[in-house]
A = this chain, B = another copy of it.
Amino acid sequence: MRCLVLGASGFIGGHLITSLADSGHQVVAYARHFDSNHSISTNTNIEYVTGDFCNEQRWNELLTGVQVCYHLISTTVPKSSNDDPIADVTGNIIGTLHFLEAAKKKNVRIVFASSGGTVYGRINTDSIDEHHPTDPLCSYGITKLAIEKYLLLYRELHGMRSVVLRIANPYGEGQQPDAIQGAVAVFMGRVLRGHTIDIWGDGSVVRDYIYVQDVVQAMIAASEYGGRLNVFNVGSGVGVSLLELLGMIEQVTAKKADIIFHPSRSFDVPRNVLNITAAQKELEWTPQIPMIEGLKKTALWMQEKINDSL
């Protein structure tokens, strides 16, 4: 199978292209750039292509012979997306529409990485299913949602097959401790280096963390799915508070976390845990890696990375 991965230099993208190539698929790995931080796989099944998603002119060429396209590109992150919603819409919705206009003429399936953490907004339930209201509290969530709607529309109008995955908070090897996203990597990096950790609120905020290889398996399952549903939550289905997360990080690193508490921020919803029943049933997928095990693997990788940089 020939696959196109948009956003191949990102955290999930990096794992996905390796898994696909190791399974014998031909992979076109597309990203703005592949930097030195990223461990470029030497698997010869992977062809690396750099380009500007918003101004890409080669979609016809890039999509030739492609059976599945995984769309993981976002030109913004949740926190800063509200600073410039116009750039968010231009980069993400319009960028994606240019891609879809080319893809609709090809027989390509799309798997889209949406956001379980932002599309729902304020949560009114302990376990969010896909029918929960969607009133995002950041522009990032609105543009993800609009792209979801366009994928449904292109299915109606052009018979384009697509699956939307609303992904929880992924973590694992390769997630950068100095990035602006990803509580697990940031916290673990600081604990390993003996730095203090800033927490806004009392640490009771509950989130759904999922190991990156479990996300990759969900994406591959979605690409093979032929059923009638379109939108699936992809998470662990388990709620973990920030303090519980720090406790587990202390356990796997055998180091103490030095926490500084700050006043809570209005945009942090108290709880966001996904109901993953639909994905389990329809995609025949379920998360395989318990959190403590995933954190151990992550800590091993991160300790090595920190040692290398000394």
Contact = CB atoms under 8 A, between A and B. Distances in A.
Given A97-B86, A133-B131, A149 B142 contact: yes
A125 to B, nearest CB: 14
A29 to B, nearest CB: 26
Interface string A142-186: 100110011011001100000000000000000000000000000
**Residue of A90, A131, A146, A153 most packed against chain B (CB within 10 A):** A153
B156 A137 contact: yes
A145 B145 CA distance: 10
23 contacts: A82-B157, A85-B97, A85-B101, A85-B153, A86-B97, A86-B98, A86-B101, A89-B94, A89-B97, A89-B146, A90-B94, A93-B146, A134-B149, A135-B149, A135-B152, A136-B153, A137-B153, A138-B153, A139-B150, A142-B146, A142-B149, A145-B146, A145-B149
A267 B157 CA distance: 9
A153 B149 contact: no
Question: Is chain A's interface secondary structure helix, strand, loop, or mixed overall?
Answer: helix
Q: Number of copies of this chain in the oligomer?
A: 2
B82 A86 contact: no
A182 B56 CA distance: 39
A133 B149 CA distance: 11
A145 to B, nearest CB: 7
A136 B152 CA distance: 8
A276 B75 CA distance: 39
Interface string A79-117: 000100110011001100110010000000000000000
Contacts of A101: 85-86
